[in-house]
Amino acid sequence: MPCRALHRLAIMSNRPLNPLPRQTARLWWPLLTLLLTLGGQRAHAQDAPSNVTSAQATDLASALSRASARDPQAAQLSARLNQAQAALDIAHNLTPGPAAVSLNHLSDRLQRDQGRREWEVELATPLWLPGQQGASQRQAERALAELQARLALRQLELAGELRNSWWQLASARAARELAQQRLQTATALEQTVQRRYQSGDVARVDANLARTERLSAQAEALEADTTLLQAQQAYSGLTGLPPPTALPPEAAPTLPSAGQTAPETRADHPQWLALQSAVALANSRLALVDSSRRDAPELALRWTTQRSDAFSPSDQAIGVKLTVPLSSGDRVRQESAGARADLAQAERELAMLGTQLDQALQRARSELATAQTQLELATTRCELTTDNLKLAQRAFDLGEQDLPTLLRARSADHEAQAWLTRQRIAYQAAVSHLQQARGLLPQPATAEPAQAQPTPSQPNTPQP
């Protein structure tokens, strides 16, 4: 093959081509073959499609971590923490602002030109007013704490959005699974009835009823597919990840028995802490306004050298200048009124928030207790409809019952199964809502995912 390529190249160029010496060819051909092999592997690696699959969140905690990394508001608050830290560093400086250097020069060169010269150098720096530095430090510390509290509150808000998306996705998956089961059952029933109709065992109306049931189940399956796609897109838009295969629930909290009060308090709730930080920040701003009733005074060190003419010696002098701005009553009243208005608003919001948090916690507890009761009812109803369906199917197979009765039993069982599935997911969603009302973030899953633990009288709630 190499000799043919060399002779072909010689014919195309119309020039004699001297063959390589035998020893040289023995050395170069293996090297050339290796280079061509590596080049082909590289091209194949570039052309081959990527088989890397996207990571999936295994629980609510990992999904929240991903959603927080994508959230624009969380990114902005994290960046503003650096700004607040810089303001705190400024408040600890010796002066409220940077020093300034000025240079002044006078000369009569363009007029009489008698050699008059004057140079002046001034170094000026602002000074803190009495009590102003301490107020600035407290204000900067409160601003940093307020940003940290807002960041924690944003994490809780993201957790609420993610929990809703999580259980909407679980509900859509369960509805699609039930719709597919109904479609499979209806298809099998249609085939059975069609065979019996062809053999003359059932009437044509029964065959039409079986086909109608299959068409209804097919329409329900299509609608369930659309709902599932919307839930998947909502979850992916929030986290940037494909939906996980399993959706493990959060651990169920212990509900207080009748006549007992819950031990938790709103003092640790992120929303309460954020408003408390806002009140503290408004107080510190008011204190800073009260201690800054005029602009910062300025202390300057001056050095001058001058001469009257070219024959006079230069005179040098050093001086100190202190500039104290006068206070403006109207401006002080304006800033003080604005700070007091912010403080009044924050205090009113904090007073209202206490009632709102208590009511939200009561609603969440009531929702969880109701979900437990409804889950028990749904389990009992599902057991009854399943038993009725078995009896109706047996009677239909023996010819003792007509097809409409069997279809009614199937419809009742399908509704009971759907209601049971919805109540299971509703119970797990109620657990998440209670954790949200408590102000708790999702916790990472342990070796075994935390399952919702019902009360002893409640049936188990499997993972969707």
In a domain, 385, yes or no: yes
Q: Are residues 247 and 282 in the same domain?
A: yes
Q: Are residues 16 and 89 in the same domain?
A: no
In a domain, 454, yes or no: no
Q: Are residues 424 and 301 in the same domain?
A: yes
Measured in degrees and rounded to the nearest 5, phi and psi for residue 316 equal -115, 150
30-34, 88-92, 376-380, 416-420: lowest mean pLDDT where? 30-34
Q: Are residues 26 and 175 in the same domain?
A: no
In a domain, 464, yes or no: no
Q: Are residues 76 and 9 in the same domain?
A: no
In the chain, the percentage of residues whose pLDDT exceeds 70 is 80
Task: Report the distance separating Cα 424 and Cα 174, nearest Å.
Answer: 10
Q: Are residues 210 and 267 in the same domain?
A: yes
In a domain, 267, yes or no: yes
Q: What is the CA radius of gyration of the chain?
A: 41
Which amino acid makes up residue 390?
Answer: K
132-146, 201-215, 221-235: lowest mean pLDDT where? 201-215
Give the residue from 361, 365, 375, 349 showing the smallest Cα distance to 438.
Answer: 361
The mean per-residue pLDDT over the stretch 134-143 comes to 91
Instruction: Quickly state the pLDDT bin for 283 (edges 50, 70, 90).
Output: very high
Task: Report the distance separating Cα 36 and Cα 47, nearest Å.
Answer: 16
Checking if the pLDDT of 30 tops 70, the result is no
3-state secondary structure of 105: strand
Q: Are residues 234 and 138 in the same domain?
A: yes
Measured in degrees and rounded to the nearest 5, phi and psi for residue 74 equal -65, -40
Spell 255-291 as b/e; 16+ CB within 10 A means b: eeeeeeeeeeebeebbbbbbbbbbbbbbbbbbbbbeb
Please report, for the domain that includes residue 339, its CATH number: 1.20.1600.10
Into how many domains does the chain fold?
2
Q: Are residues 24 and 102 in the same domain?
A: no
Mean pLDDT of the chain: 80
**Domain assignment of residue 6, given as a range:** 1-33
Express each pLDDT in 321-354 by its tens digit.
Answer: 888 888 777 777 888 888 899 899 999 999 899 8
In a domain, 52, yes or no: no
Express each pLDDT in 154-175 by its tens digit.
Answer: 999 999 999 999 999 999 999 9
In a domain, 41, yes or no: no
Instruction: State the pTM of this model.
Output: 0.71
Express each pLDDT in 172-201 by its tens digit.
Answer: 999 999 899 889 988 988 898 888 888 887
Express each pLDDT in 61-78 by its tens digit.
Answer: 889 999 999 999 999 999
Q: Which residues pair with 318 in a beta bridge?
A: 303
Instruction: Quickly state the pLDDT bin for 297 (edges 50, 70, 90).
Output: confident
Q: Are residues 16 and 94 in the same domain?
A: no
